[in-house]
């Protein structure tokens, strides 16, 4: 029984990490679109799509219960920490 719970938690954590990777990749593209001289509507549409995707996946995890939601948020936050560290290093010129 414990093995099944561990596999369930690990799979939702991996789902959260994947969601975080997609979210922050789209955020990077979104920043480039807002900062560039391209059309503003494409940046706004990407922004909306990014937020809707994240909200939808986390809502579906929440409908499965507290453990899947918390596991997926842990995975998402781990990727968030990595993305912030990479952005800080790139901004400081150390990357």
What torsion, rounded to 10 degrees, do the Cα atoms 45, 46, 50, 52 define?
20
Q: Has this prediction a pTM greater than 0.75? A: yes
The answer to whether residue 95 scores a pLDDT higher than 60 is no
Give 41-88 pLDDT, tens digit per residue: 899 999 999 999 999 999 999 999 999 999 999 999 999 999 999 888
Cβ atoms 26, 49 nearer than 8 A:
yes
User: Mean pLDDT over residues 26-52, rounded?
Assistant: 90
> Could you tell me which residue, 38 or 81, shows the higher pLDDT?
81
Torsional class of 36: left (φ above 0), alpha (ψ -120 to 50), beta (otherwise): beta
Question: Computed from CA positions of residues 49, 52, 55, 57, in that sequence, does the dihedral angle turn out positive or negative?
Answer: negative
């Amino acid at each position: 029984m414990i093995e099944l719970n561990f596999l369930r938690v690990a799979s939702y954590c991996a789902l959260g990490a994947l969601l975080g990777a997609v979210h922050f990749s789209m955020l990077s593209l979104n920043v480039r679109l807002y900062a560039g001289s391209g059309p503003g509507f494409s940046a706004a549409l990407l922004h909306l799509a990014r937020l809707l995707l994240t909200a939808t996946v986390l809502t579906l995890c929440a409908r499965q219960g507290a453990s899947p939601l918390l596991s997926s948020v842990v995975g998402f936050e781990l990727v968030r920490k990595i993305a912030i560290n990479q952005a800080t290093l790139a901004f400081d010129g150390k990357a």
